[in-house]
């Protein structure tokens, strides 16, 4: 399972929403200052994985772009609350990342590393704390599910095979 998930993650070298960015997957942990984006394999006490669906029908793991002055732990905490209505109950464990190299003249946001940054993935234990906050500048989440890992990966596969393979990688590494 690890070689299959890693092979698929490594094969992903670009994304349609950022055609000027080239991606290279690695399991080498980046310095915290290098992380521009983070997504989370959020695990409930029952061992289920939290997944989200937006009003546009996107299926994804909670996460997003780092705000100015935010630590990685703060980014994870904020995105879990905004998109899923969950809060961490333990420390995030690094799983893998894309080294993202941008051909753009300037960073996506001034405070983000450029031209190379990390789009990182973490595993973290969580508990529900309320409904998603759905801030005006974020995705509008209309569904949050907690599914067994294999079901979560299959559910994500419909719209985000990268996030599905991140769940499979976490499962194969014994982190779920």
Percentage of the chain beyond pLDDT 90 is 82
Mean of per-residue pLDDT scores for the chain: 94
The secondary structure element, H or E, covering residue 25 is strand 21-26
What domains sit in the chain, N to C, each tagged with a CATH number? 2-172 (3.90.79.10)
**What does the pLDDT read at residue 1?**
52
Task: Compute, in degrees rounded to 10, the torsion defined by CA atoms 160, 3, 45, 71.
Answer: -70
pLDDT digits (tens, 9 = 90+) for 86-143: 999 999 999 999 999 999 999 889 999 899 999 999 999 999 999 999 999 888 999 9
Q: Which two tokens stand for residue 6?
A: 């890693």
User: Are 133 and 82 spatial neighbours (Cβ–Cβ below 8 Å)?
Assistant: yes
Lowest pLDDT segment from 2-11, 27-36, 51-60 = 2-11
Q: Which residues pair with 86 in a beta bridge?
A: 128
User: Are 161 and 15 spatial neighbours (Cβ–Cβ below 8 Å)?
Assistant: no
pLDDT digits (tens, 9 = 90+) for 11-36: 888 777 778 889 999 999 999 999 99
Q: How far apart are CA 82 and CA 66, in angstroms?
A: 13
129 phi and psi angles, rounded to 5 deg? -130, -5
Indicate whether this model's pTM tops 0.85.
Answer: yes
Q: Which two tokens stand for residue 89?
A: 């109950």
């Amino acid at each position: 399972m690890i070689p299959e998930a890693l092979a698929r993650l490594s094969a992903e070298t670009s994304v349609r929403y950022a055609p000027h960015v080239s991606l290279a997957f690695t399991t080498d942990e980046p310095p915290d200052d290098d992380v521009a984006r983070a997504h989370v394999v959020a695990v409930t006490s029952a061992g289920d994985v939290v997944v989200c669906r937006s009003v546009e029908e996107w299926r994804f793991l909670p996460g997003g772009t780092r705000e100015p002055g935010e630590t990685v732990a703060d980014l994870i905490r904020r995105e879990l609350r905004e998109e899923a209505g969950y809060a961490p109950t333990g420390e995030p464990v690094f799983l893998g990342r894309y080294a993202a190299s941008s051909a753009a003249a300037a960073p996506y946001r001034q405070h983000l590393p450029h031209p190379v940054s990390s789009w990182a993935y973490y595993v973290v234990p969580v508990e529900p704390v309320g409904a998603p906050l759905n801030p005006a500048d974020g995705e509008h989440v209309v569904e949050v599910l907690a599914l067994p890992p294999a079901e979560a990966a299959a559910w994500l596969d419909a719209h985000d095979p990268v996030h599905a393979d991140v769940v499979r990688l976490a499962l194969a590494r014994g982190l779920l």
